[in-house]
Chains A and B, each alone.
Chain A
Amino acid sequence: MTAARTMTLNLGPQHPSTHGVLRLVLELDGEVVIRCEPHIGYLHTGIEKGLESKRYQQGIPLTDRLDYLAPLSNNLVHVLAIEKALGIEVPERAQTIRVLMTELTRIKSHLVWLGTHAMDVGAMSVFLYCFREREQILDMYEAVSGQRLMSSYFRVGGLVADLPMGFEGQVQAFLATFPARLEEYEALLTQNPLWRQRTVGIGTIRATDAIAMGVSGPSLRACGVAYDVRRAAPYSGYERYQFDVPVGKVGDVYDRYTVRMAEMRQSHRIAAQALQHLSPGPINVADPKLIPPPRKLLKTSMEALIHHFKLYSEGFSVPAGEVYQAIESPKGELGVYLVSDGSNRPYRVHYRAPSFANLQALPRMVEGRLLADVIAVIGSLDIVLGEIDR
């Protein structure tokens, strides 16, 4: 009798530990994964197609929905690409606020990763603590933009509004308590024998393979490659900040954990510096073609009224050409390729989503390992299907 040795198992798309709607077709020999084939596209919403029909400013809220755990990183790369094509640079205060907010976003995104990853592996309580701190950052989102999740706070040429009164105190209060909180999480996990058994030596990938697959962000740095866009090609004034780029050694699940924990400390450090750098000044470029005039001017200035009307009926045009802008999002190298035909709508926008390339390396990490490890590895990659499927 020749019984089939292997079994095919569908993991997802409706499985809580696939972090959204990822479907893996696994070929199993007992509990060992022989072959892993990711199927994506369940969250495809045609964002790139949709952006082609929207004026440049109108596209910003769509970008929030890519990596919905780090909406401000998506906003940032989108407006930076348009600003690069326009050839403008925003004032220093706007840059500092952008850095402050995106670093808080990184902490927020990493907190969701840590909570869900630990829960996948069986450590329930970490999740509750992480969401407690995340709540404070969501409150800051609400304070600056009125929205807790899809904030769309950045605009081409600056910001939608200046920081509200008392915001700096709110950030300071968070920064004062956060390092102690991080130590609490680490006390629960870092030396925990159960945690180490589930993560050390699991899902290992070599640096050369990771580079060939286009893996970026903490998952690449866990292999010992210190590639961080903030350092390699600074944007928004990152060259003015002191921070380290944490790297791992072997590139397993545990290294990805330690790298992200260290990154939260670095983000804390950058946010504290940004708060210090924060000096009064304009938050928008002084160009009425890009930035709507102050409300009170509309009643007295004919030109202001014309600019206001043109901006909201037609938008602004971007010179014909193409640019690629990359930033370090919490997930890795987030890039935008923007093609302009000189009109007021982008001709083509492509998002280089870090999760897309990182997920591609998943089979390399899990084939030949146990089924239970697949769950730990997915968690350690920190994928967001919103930006994978776009």
Chain B
Amino acid sequence: MIETTGQAPEAEGLVLTRLREQFGGALLEVKVWRYETTVLLAPQDLVRVCRYLRDHPDLTFDFLSSVTGVDRLKLPENSPRFEVVYHVYSLQHKRRLRLKVRVADDEGVPSVTGVWEGANWHEREVFDLFGVPFEGHPNLCRILMPDDWEGHPLRKDYPLEASPKWWEEEPA
């Protein structure tokens, strides 16, 4: 009924088949909803899976659309708390794939800047707005908020309207 995002079901099958052959148990969870495939990985497997996805001639996921985060605090199942989501695309095969890793509040995620250079700013944004650190990132600092900002605005326990402490005027 609704358009697919340019991927036939059998083509999705190929990606999953290749991934299962190569990594088997590293694929913690595979979901297909609305013709979109999501693969959940453990943080330590992320970089090698990404490199394989980019380099295998049947897959060639060479284009990283985005990296973003989700704070699962208010979802029914919320442990570990954060989810880092990667949308990758293959220009040649016209296929899209979503990868995810889950980490707790104080845990880091390995950076994929070594696989896709463009991950740099996206990961900085996730660090800035969610406070998820990326290990091995070349320049992990805030990107949208000021450098001296306290807190991470897209966390679910961060107030929508700023509490007074951010707007206190300096004593004259």
Contact = CB atoms under 8 A, between A and B. Distances in A.
B165 interface: no
A350 interface: yes
Contacts of A390: 144
A352 B87 contact: yes
B96 A235 contact: no
A215 B89 CA distance: 12
A225 interface: yes
A233 B160 CA distance: 36
A337 B153 contact: no
Nearest to B116: A212
B145 A41 contact: yes
Interface of A: 40-41, 44, 46, 48-50, 52-53, 83-85, 87-89, 209, 211-216, 225, 227, 232-235, 321-326, 333, 335, 337, 339, 341, 347-348, 350, 352, 356-357, 360-361, 389-390
Contacts of A347: 70, 74-75
Contacts of A335: 65-66, 87
B116 A225 contact: no
Given A87-B34, A227-B91, A232-B94, A326 B65 contact: yes
Contact of A87 (B1, B87, B96): B1
A238 B68 CA distance: 28
B118 interface: yes
A351 B153 CA distance: 16
B144 A41 contact: yes
Contacts of B36: 322-324
Contacts of A89: 1-3
A65 to B, nearest CB: 15
Given A89-B1, A335-B87, A337-B85, A214 B63 contact: yes
Interface of A, secondary structure class, is: mixed
B31 to A, nearest CB: 9
Contacts of A232: 6, 91, 94
A333 B65 contact: yes
Contact of B65 (A209, A214, A225): A214
A324 B98 contact: yes
B66 A360 contact: no
B146 A41 contact: yes
Contact of B34 (A52, A321, A348): A321
Nearest to B125: A356
19 contacts: A48-B129, A48-B154, A49-B160, A87-B34, A211-B91, A212-B116, A213-B118, A214-B63, A214-B64, A232-B91, A322-B33, A322-B36, A324-B65, A324-B98, A337-B68, A350-B68, A356-B122, A360-B120, A390-B144
B117 interface: yes
Interface in B126-172: 129, 142-146, 153-154, 158, 160
A137 to B, nearest CB: 27
Contacts of B142: 41
Interface in B108-128: 116-118, 120-122
CB-CB nearest 3 A-B residue pairs? A233-B6, A214-B118, A352-B66
Contacts of B70: 339, 347-348
A341 B65 CA distance: 23
B62 interface: yes
A83 B68 contact: no
